[in-house]
Amino acid sequence: MRDPHQPGPTEWGEGRHGVGPWEEEHPGVPRPEDPRLDPELLAEGDRRNVVDAYRYWSRPAIIEDIDTRRHPLHIAIENFENDANIGTVVRTANAFAVDTVHIVGRRRWNRRGAMVTDRYQHLRHHLDTAALFDWAAGEGLDVVAIDNTPGSVPLETTELPRRCLLLFGQEGPGVTPEAQGRAAMTCSIAQFGSTRSINAGVAAGIAMHSWVRQHADLRQAW
Ligand SMILES: C[S@@+](CC[C@H](N)C(=O)[O-])C[C@H]1O[C@@H](n2cnc3c(N)ncnc32)[C@H](O)[C@@H]1O
């Protein structure tokens, strides 16, 4: 468990992005003999968007480490019209150590919003909604659609399954009727203003954090 009196992720690095070569950061200290460390990063510095605990670690070593504590939470987003929010969803899923992000429909998606976090996140493509549901059934995962459509129940007061796949729709059509028909339930996020809906990436962040509040072990957080 992290000591609450020690600096947290926002204080680490004090505004600098990453670290320089090992010899500059640790003068006189020999390079550690740790197979998780990447010789190239040690030699040239590590400016990647990773938490300080992973500085100089190779990408496979980071993925392997997250794999030991990924949550039994999966995220799916329907991508029949090339949704621009998928990068945001992937980045948030990475932050919460989601098991896998599932892209349903078009294989291509705009990676810009992911800020390279997709390199550390398991991704899986499904041709259509039926393929996603068949896969989830095989894994024993309950699918919960997230949308504010008739028949939905409030996310704020609903217990989410621990082994769970949260499914999001795209701007415009929302979660397809087929998907909502097969989902164990549909959860809505309470709104109070004039807009019909919020951005899908924002909705995904809210819903993922609802799962975290209910099921994650916060002592494992950075
Ligand atoms: C921009 S919404 C579009 C659909 C929306 N049902 C409508 O009538 O306009 C895109 C996706 O964001 C998520 N979303 C947006 N607002 C939501 C809310 N208030 N509750 C639950 N999900 C929401 C859902 O996954 C939805 O499919």
Atom of ligand 1 nearest to the CA of 77: 25
Say whether both 108 and 193 belong to one domain. Answer: yes
Pocket-forming residues, ligand 1, beta carbon under 6 Å: 146-149, 168-171, 174-175, 188-189, 191, 196-198, 200, 203
Indicate the burial class of 145 (C-beta count within 10 angstroms; 0-12, 13-18, 19 or more).
buried
Say whether both 57 and 98 belong to one domain. Answer: no
Atom of ligand 1 nearest to the CA of 169: 27
SS3 29: coil
Nearest CA to ligand 1 atom 19: 189
Q: How far is the CA of 20 from the centre of ligand 1 (A)?
A: 43
Q: How far is the CA of 101 from the centre of ligand 1 (A)?
A: 18
Say whether both 57 and 93 belong to one domain. Answer: no
- Would 2 be classed as within a structural domain? no
Per-residue pLDDT, 110: 87
Say whether both 154 and 211 belong to one domain. Answer: yes
| Residue finishing a domain among 66, 93, 119 | 66
- Would 1 be classed as within a structural domain? no
- Would 192 be classed as within a structural domain? yes
Provide the number of structural domains found in the chain.
2
- Would 154 be classed as within a structural domain? yes
Say whether both 54 and 149 belong to one domain. Answer: no
Say whether both 166 and 57 belong to one domain. Answer: no
Q: How far is the CA of 97 from the centre of ligand 1 (A)?
A: 23
Q: How far is the CA of 182 from the centre of ligand 1 (A)?
A: 18
Residue 61, pLDDT > 70, answer: yes
Nearest CA to ligand 1 atom 24: 147
Mean pLDDT of the chain: 92
Per-residue pLDDT, 81: 81
Residue 93, domain extent: 69-220
Say whether both 144 and 202 belong to one domain. Answer: yes
- Would 12 be classed as within a structural domain? no
pLDDT in tens, 184-213: 999 999 999 999 999 999 999 999 999 999
Say whether both 47 and 111 belong to one domain. Answer: no
Nearest CA to ligand 1 atom 6: 174
Residues with Cβ within 8 Å of 131's Cβ and at least 6 positions away in sequence, in order, are 104
- Would 14 be classed as within a structural domain? no
Q: What percent of the chain has pLDDT over 90?
A: 83
Say whether both 116 and 192 belong to one domain. Answer: yes
Say whether both 31 and 43 belong to one domain. Answer: yes
pLDDT in tens, 88-140: 999 999 999 999 999 999 998 888 889 889 999 999 999 999 999 999 999 99
Indicate the burial class of 11 (C-beta count within 10 angstroms; 0-12, 13-18, 19 or more).
exposed
Atom of ligand 1 nearest to the CA of 167: 25
- Would 131 be classed as within a structural domain? yes
Say whether both 191 and 142 belong to one domain. Answer: yes
- Would 5 be classed as within a structural domain? no
